[in-house]
Structure 1
Amino acid sequence: MSIPLLEYTPSSQNSRVRGYEVPSDEQPRVFSTDNLLSSGDYDNLIESAYRQIFFHAFASDREKFLESQLRNGQITVRDFIRGLCLSNTFTNSFYNLNSNYKFAEHCVQKILGRDVYNEAEKIAWSIVIATKGRAGFVNDLLNSDEYLENFGDNIVPFQRRRVLPSGASEVPFNIKNPRYDAYYRRKLGFPKASWQAAVRGYKPQEKQPKAGDPALFAGMAKSLGNIGNQPQSISPYNIDYQNLVPRR
């Protein structure tokens, strides 16, 4: 018996606010099968789906069978996204190298196009993963009202409302959210910090020492070392007390 999805409180994210901004280069491009006119349009749509789910797909990562079914109209874009989320590439790159909490966060970002609201939502979806499995979790996301209202059957998911009212843009999910969990990043040995041998600094021209400044001779004085007389080593065992005391 599966546990129903726990309730969580949605927060007022940027994706929940209706936008009235002027379209620009920061606006996400919508790829849909409703306005495809040529095979090149299908190529762009498929590439956008790979970028959304995989971030990048090599030749060995591509699902040729799913691509053929999509081009022939046998499956919808939603079915194509489902196939990519259940593929071996997504399994090996995300599911096998993350906890259920991190995997739920990845899928919410990639499928629903927004950040998770809070830790309660990650816990709720992780319970779905534990009870229904990975396929049941992906199906629940794709069958949710939020997905159907924003993307439907024919639109490739995208990061919703990236442009903020101030003109700035949110960081893309693939940049701010690492693919691997912290445990597996340490296990795989990255990231590794690289340190420079010397620390370089910049000193303004007006603060640089002038001719005759003692700071210019500090290095030379340090290089000379100790050139004075060495201190004498005096011990009570090498002192002739009888000859040193005057006669009376």
Structure 2
Amino acid sequence: MSIPILNYSFSTQNQRVDGFEYYPGEEQPKIYTTDNLPTSLEMDEIIWAAYRQIFSEHQSLTSNREPFLESQLRFNQIKIKDFVKGLVLSQSFRNLNYDVNNNYRFAEMCIQRILGRDIYNNREKLAFSVVIASKGLEAFIDILLASDEYFDNFGDNTVPYQRRRVIAQRSKGETPFNLKTPRMSQDFSTKQALSQLSWSGSVRKFRPQEQSPRAGDPALFLNMVLEVSPLSLS
């Protein structure tokens, strides 16, 4: 019997409030979609936007690319939604984000990257961390991608993006999600450091032996010279 998702309240965030901008400008996110039959160059931009959104600026490396998924997307064998799922479930993403974080941090990060918003509260983070622990990583990703929130904002053919990003920065001073360091939150890294530095044995202090001059060492005659020096006689 699987554990149902815990209930959590929806707090008011910028992406849930209608915008007041009269004219679109730099504050509006750029939409990358395959609805309009993109050219080869436009497809390159779409793929790069997906990597930047899922892997973040810090992890957008050539070694993290998935050529097979890219080829499927270019030949219209999969949708952008499937491409996003493939990136999140890739071994590179798992090594860089899942294996080095606890479930709370990983759930928060995936909500930011896939749904394009921050978590509503700790209750939501706890609810999805339970899903990861009980049902596994793939089931957690499927829940996010199959949600009405994802479909209403991105559908099958649009790369996820941070909704109302600049306005959120002005009101909260937030950093864009793809610029946040994804590896090891403070609580997780602190626990790792404590486990590495802990020592159950007794602590011994190292005291070097007194180095006294040996026979014939000129240092033995230093005091003698000082005693007979003219300065000492005066």
Taking structure 2 as the reference length, the TM-score comes to 0.75
Match of residue 219 from structure 2: none
Match of residue 39 from structure 2: 38
Distance between the aligned counterparts of 1:170 and 1:34, measured in 2? Answer: 31
Distance between the aligned counterparts of 1:71 and 1:166, measured in 2? Answer: 34
CA gap of 1:45–1:165, structure 2 versus 1, over 3 A, is: closer
Secondary structure of residue in 2 paired with 1:53: helix
1:75-224 maps to which residues of 2 (within 5 A)? 75-164=78-167, 170-176=174-180, 178-183=182-187, 185-186=189-190, 187=192
Secondary structure of residue in 2 paired with 1:73: coil
Distance between the aligned counterparts of 2:180 and 2:89, measured in 1? Answer: 23
Distance between the aligned counterparts of 1:165 and 1:48, measured in 2? Answer: 20
CA gap of 1:144–1:165, structure 2 versus 1, over 3 A, is: closer
Taking structure 1 as the reference length, the TM-score comes to 0.71
CA gap of 1:178–1:59, structure 2 versus 1, over 3 A, is: closer
Deviation string, structure 1 residues 182-219 (Cα, Å, up to 9, x no partner): 2554558xxxxxxxxxxxxxxxxxxxxxxxxxxxxxxx
- Structure 1 portions without partners, runs of 5+: 189-248
The size of the alignment, in residue pairs, is 189
Higher percent of residues as helix: 2
When Rg is computed on C-alpha atoms for both structures, the one with the higher figure is 1
Post-superposition offset of 1:176: 4.3
AA in 2 matched with 1:44: E
Q: Do structure 1's residue 64 and structure 2's residue 80 form an aligned pair?
A: no
Choose between structure 1 and 2 for higher RCO, CA contacts under 8 A separated by at least 6 residues: 2
Post-superposition offset of 1:139: 0.5
CA gap of 1:19–1:92, structure 2 versus 1, over 3 A, is: same
Q: Over aligned residue pairs, what C-alpha RMSD do you find?
A: 2.1
- Point out the more displaced range, 90-99 or 19-28: 19-28
Distance between the aligned counterparts of 1:46 and 1:124, measured in 2? Answer: 31
Post-superposition offset of 1:19: 1.3
CA gap of 1:53–1:165, structure 2 versus 1, over 3 A, is: closer
